[in-house]
Homo-oligomer: A and B are copies of this chain.
Amino acid sequence: MRPDWSLHVLVDPATIPLARMPAFVAEVARGGATVLQLRGKTTPIPELVRYGEALGEEARRHGLLYLVNDRLDVALATGADGVHVGQEDLPPAAVRRVAPGLLLGLSVGSLEELARSRTGPAPDYLGVGPVFPTGSKADAGPVIGVEGLRAIAAAWPGMPVVAIGGIQPANVAAVWAAGVAGVAVISAVSTAADPEAACRALLQGRP
């Protein structure tokens, strides 16, 4: 059975401290999140490992998938269900070779990157964006808009696409209308006053 990619909530230890994390996971699970992705670009690796172990435990408790951004070694060390890599991370071929049992997400920001990615092993889903301007990812590529999202999604038939970048309850309807399998968010949920309600709002309009 294909995983439910509907709503990826990215979790940064710098935004959600470890002590707050279990309650946060419970809230987003109630709101309908299906995937947690650990993404701690500024977190020291030993701390990231401890956080990831705890996050994976909470994810399992609530029936969510637990992925790790970028670092396959942290994913393996913390028993993650998968890893999400970008174009400047470990190549998908290397991930599949080292960890054939893990789910694999791959970021793609243009038709050129998509064409290049199709020469390697297929990931389990594509992370496509940034759809809208975002402040959460300093190294995000050019904004592609809903039209760019639609074009990239159409270029790899059958591949689940998870839209990312500046997605908020206010603009999510157009994203779902583009035919995506899911949306991924950072600040829209982790800085929301009510993360559960934010998740519910993001899932409005899902086909």
User: Dominant SS at the A interface?
Assistant: helix
**How far does the Cβ of A46 sit from chain B's closest Cβ, in whole Å?**
5
Q: Is A101 engaged at the interface, CB distance under 8 Å to the other chain?
A: no
**How far does the Cβ of A196 sit from chain B's closest Cβ, in whole Å?**
33
Q: What string of 1s and 0s marks CB contacts (under 8 Å) between A142-155 and chain B?
A: 00000000000000
Q: Is A76 engaged at the interface, CB distance under 8 Å to the other chain?
A: yes
Q: What string of 1s and 0s marks CB contacts (under 8 Å) between A6-46 and chain B?
A: 00000000000000000000000000000000000000111
Stoichiometry, as copies per complex, reads: 2
Let me know if A94 and B44 touch, CB within 8 A.
no
Q: What string of 1s and 0s marks CB contacts (under 8 Å) between A70-101 and chain B?
A: 01111011100000000111110011011000
Chain B residues, CB < 8 A from A74: 90
**How far does the Cβ of A58 sit from chain B's closest Cβ, in whole Å?**
19
Q: What string of 1s and 0s marks CB contacts (under 8 Å) between A115-137 and chain B?
A: 00000000000000000000000
Let me know if B49 and A77 touch, CB within 8 A.
no
Of listed A73, A87, A91, A97, residue having the most chain B CB within 10 A: A73
Of listed A45, A71, A74, residue having the most chain B CB within 10 A: A45
Contact of A89 among B45, B94, B95, B97 (CB under 8 A): B45
Contact of A90 among B45, B89, B94, B98 (CB under 8 A): B45
A55→B88 CA distance, assembly (Å): 20
Spell out A's residues near B (CB within 8 Å). 44-46, 49, 71-74, 76-78, 87-91, 94-95, 97-98
Interchain residue pairs A-B with the least CB separation, the first 10? A77-B94, A72-B73, A73-B73, A76-B98, A44-B88, A45-B89, A77-B98, A46-B91, A73-B90, A45-B90
Can you list 22 A-B contacts with CB-CB less than 8 angstroms, sorted by A residue number? A44-B88, A45-B89, A45-B90, A46-B88, A46-B89, A46-B91, A49-B91, A49-B94, A71-B73, A72-B76, A72-B77, A73-B73, A73-B90, A73-B94, A74-B90, A76-B98, A77-B90, A77-B94, A77-B95, A77-B97, A77-B98, A78-B94
